[in-house]
Structure 1
Amino acid sequence: MYKIMTPGPTNVRENVRLARSMATTNPDVDSAFCEFYKETCDLLAGLLHTKNRMYILGGEGILGLEAACASLTERGDRVLVIDNGVFGRGFADFVTMYGGETVSFVSDYHRPVDIAALEEFLKKDSAFKYATVVHCDTPSGVLNPIKEICRLLASYGIITVVDSVAGMFGEYVNIDESQIDILCGGSQKALSAPPGLTLLWVSDKAMAAMESRKTPIASYYANILAFKTYYEDKWFPYTMPISDIYGLRAAVDNVLADKDILKRHAAIAAATRKAVVAGGLSLFLEDGFAGTVTVVAVPEGLTDKQILNTMKEQYNVMISGSFDSMAGKVVRIGHMGENANAADMAITLRALTQALQDLGFPVQCSMDEAFQQALAEGTISKSI
């Protein structure tokens, strides 16, 4: 059995697995489930500091990205795509799929979006219905300042769509303070439930834009409006995956009980970065490091597959490479949710040290020991 330390899906706690095995009712007709669903949504809204509507959709997190674009976009709408990562650029595919016209603001993939440069861009062109941005772009691990970005966009009257699938619950998110109109999340990252659910937080402004469309939304499954009156009508647009939602609720309860979750993510991430640099490796990013994933440049003379396969086959630890324009350039270590703990990270970094030594790379220290030392020197105990 491999130790899975990829940037999602994450390990799942036993109480989440047990919740998914509970006896189920008929979610289509049992009003008690509708109340349970609404209560879970309200808890998730509270965790991200918003009074906006919150919905849980049956489908992996990418459904939320498509649903946001499907529900907002009409043919000919101009949409700003903020592109400083693979997923950031990828939003354009959803926009064009539904007839929108994209304009890209492209910035360096090695650092977060430059707010001043974005503001200069908007001074020249701000005629956009909405804009898209990724909070944590996991192929590179960059973390974008969504509060500053979205408040700037809102000042120009632009609706904001944020992908925080790999950011939320590992990084602080305040939807109302940040003026985010649609926030997209997933169950399988720092929330540490199995994959299969999309989480959506939707503002009144975004809902009004959907309702004022001149043409129908060109999707049924990706139609956010279909959920608007579910609670008043006690009716869902399709049969909800009840076992998945039971598991999600247990994961939400775990997060609610974990008062140090953000502090722990920050400490584990900082210690991991310090350890890999001490070992003689290079980080891909120059700035804007996420608390949920560390992205390491593949050393010259090696390939990502050599590192990944050696760790998996010889040391039973699975990390991941990247893809698209990042393919072959980096390896990625996930430390989000249940994976953000000192014991698992020490094992992972020891496996990375040994794999690199096996491949002939001159590792400068035992990275697990460097990691533990970095934690001990910080503000959080290495026993976390």
Structure 2
Amino acid sequence: MPNYKLLTPGPLTTSHSVKEEMLCDRCTWDEDYKGITQKIRTQLLELACVQEQDYTAVLMQGSGTFAVESVMTSAISDNDKVLIVTNGAYGERIVKMAHCIGLNYREYRVAYNAYPNEAEIKEMLEEDQAITHLVMVHCETTTGILNPIEMIARVAREYSKTSIIDAMSSFGGMEINIHELGIDYLISSANKCIQGVPGFGFVIAKRDKLLACEGNARSLSLDLFDQWSEMNKDGKWRFTSPTHVVAAFSKAIDELHAEGGISERYRRYQNNNQILRDRLERMGIHTYITAEKQSPIITTFLFPSEDFNFEDFYLYVKERGFVLYPGKLTEVDTFRVGNIGEIYEEDIQTLCDIIEDYMEGCQHA
């Protein structure tokens, strides 16, 4: 199979050494393997800038969505009500979760290219005293918008609400000081900015909040408290864990540190993103999100013309070694380009050369 560069928000291009970690089979009961699990949990807390006496890390089998749903079903009781802030498909997915679980919830929806309004959120909290939890996606990969995590965390603290942040596409790729922000639950996944492979998500939770979750879950396999309780004994997962993925993730964390930590990885991602946006802008391919709201993770681009054929464009780029991402917007035609993973400036420059050749070919056709 061709070894494409994935310019997607995860799964993404991984290093050869991360892939190599999956060549060995491991036993879930083995002490060495359980040691890998505990190593990961400790390192995640370090990356989150929190102390073990205040926070804990729980790993959960499945995609990132499984981890989000584990928090939603476990952290919110029948007596609670959650306000879900949405401006993209992944926030809307959380609304679907709340509906399926049977939670008492309210949605605050804004346009896909807009920030949630602080005054409007405060007004909702003041008029609806039943709300106990606030949920928001940090980086909405629907568009690439980077939502105001500081504002949401501050409002949650001001109104004594439990904060839940879906940081699926941002954690590990930009600094998030969970302790300073006072976030209660932060959720991410193995196959995003830490540059592992798909197979599990993780939750960084305040210990006191997690301890209060016992008995809340409406799911056996997604019970976050029970998963933590078992894992906290000696590193054993409750049910069969993705052993190859766990080993790869441990290696990916080591490589994050070797790169210079989150700050250096952010610098690389930001540089990738800036080059990409600047060069495509010069070709007449404009961004959907304005620069001040743009994350360094993934960028949504508007079709350059009405007759632009994305399928033809996609195949042209893929045949030259790069896989792009279709858009998720309904009101406008877009495509997306991610720049996380083992992607460097030379990769972005090569991609832009390919896109430039394609656009010139279209003009002469």
TM-score over 0.5 (shorter chain): yes
Summarize deviations over 1:331-359 as a string: whole Å, max 9, x none.
111101312x1011111111222222333
Q: What aligned pairs does 1:179-258 form with structure 2 within 5 A after superposition?
A: 179-211=182-214, 216-231=216-231, 233-234=233-234, 235-258=236-259
Summarize deviations over 1:271-294 as a string: whole Å, max 9, x none.
222222222121101241001111
200-209 or 59-68, which moves further after superposition? 200-209
Name which of 334, 338, 347 aligns with 1:334. Answer: 338
Q: Which amino acid aligns with 1:239?
A: T
TM-superposed CA distance for 1:33, in Å, is 2.6
Change (3 A) 1:113 1:271: farther
Runs of at least 4 residues of structure 1 off by over 6 A? none
On the 8 A contact 2:231/2:238 being kept in 1, the answer is: no
Q: Could you say which residue in structure 2 is the equivalent of 1:282?
A: 286
Change (3 A) 1:181 1:322: same
Return 5+ residue gaps in structure 1 as ranges: 363-384
On the 8 A contact 1:285/1:295 being kept in 2, the answer is: yes
Change (3 A) 1:126 1:170: farther
On the 8 A contact 1:317/1:351 being kept in 2, the answer is: no
Partners of 2:348 and 2:152 lie apart in 1 by 32
TM-score under structure 1 length normalisation:
0.86
Partners of 1:311 and 1:56 lie apart in 2 by 36
Q: Which amino acid aligns with 2:221?
A: Y
SS of residue in 1 equivalent to 2:83: strand
Return 5+ residue gaps in structure 2 as ranges: none
SS of residue in 1 equivalent to 2:326: coil
Name which of 319, 322, 326 aligns with 2:324. Answer: 319
Change (3 A) 1:119 1:27: same
TM-superposed CA distance for 1:330, in Å, is 1.0
Partners of 2:100 and 2:279 lie apart in 1 by 43
Q: Does 1:269 align with 2:273?
A: yes
Partners of 1:76 and 1:323 lie apart in 2 by 35
Partners of 2:334 and 2:79 lie apart in 1 by 37
Q: Which amino acid aligns with 2:108?
A: F
Summarize deviations over 1:3-42 as a string: whole Å, max 9, x none.
3212221111111111121342x223x3333233112110
Change (3 A) 1:276 1:205: farther
On the 8 A contact 2:139/2:146 being kept in 1, the answer is: yes
Count how many residue pairs are aligned between Structure 1 and Structure 2. Answer: 354
TM-superposed CA distance for 1:250, in Å, is 0.3
On the 8 A contact 1:169/1:337 being kept in 2, the answer is: no
Q: What aligned pairs does 1:9-88 form with structure 2 within 5 A after superposition?
A: 9-24=11-26, 26-28=27-29, 30-51=30-51, 52-75=55-78, 77-88=80-91
Summarize deviations over 1:81-109 as a string: whole Å, max 9, x none.
10111111221111111111221112231
On the 8 A contact 1:191/1:252 being kept in 2, the answer is: yes
Partners of 2:245 and 2:65 lie apart in 1 by 16
Q: Which amino acid aligns with 2:252?
A: A
On the 8 A contact 1:61/1:198 being kept in 2, the answer is: yes
Say what the alpha-carbon RMSD is for the aligned residues.
2.1
Q: Which amino acid aligns with 1:300?
A: S
On the 8 A contact 1:230/1:236 being kept in 2, the answer is: yes
Partners of 1:337 and 1:145 lie apart in 2 by 24
Q: What aligned pairs does 1:284-299 form with structure 2 within 5 A after superposition?
A: 284-286=288-290, 287-299=292-304
Change (3 A) 1:294 1:232: closer
On the 8 A contact 1:74/1:99 being kept in 2, the answer is: no
SS of residue in 1 equivalent to 2:24: coil
SS of residue in 1 equivalent to 2:295: coil
Partners of 1:55 and 1:329 lie apart in 2 by 38
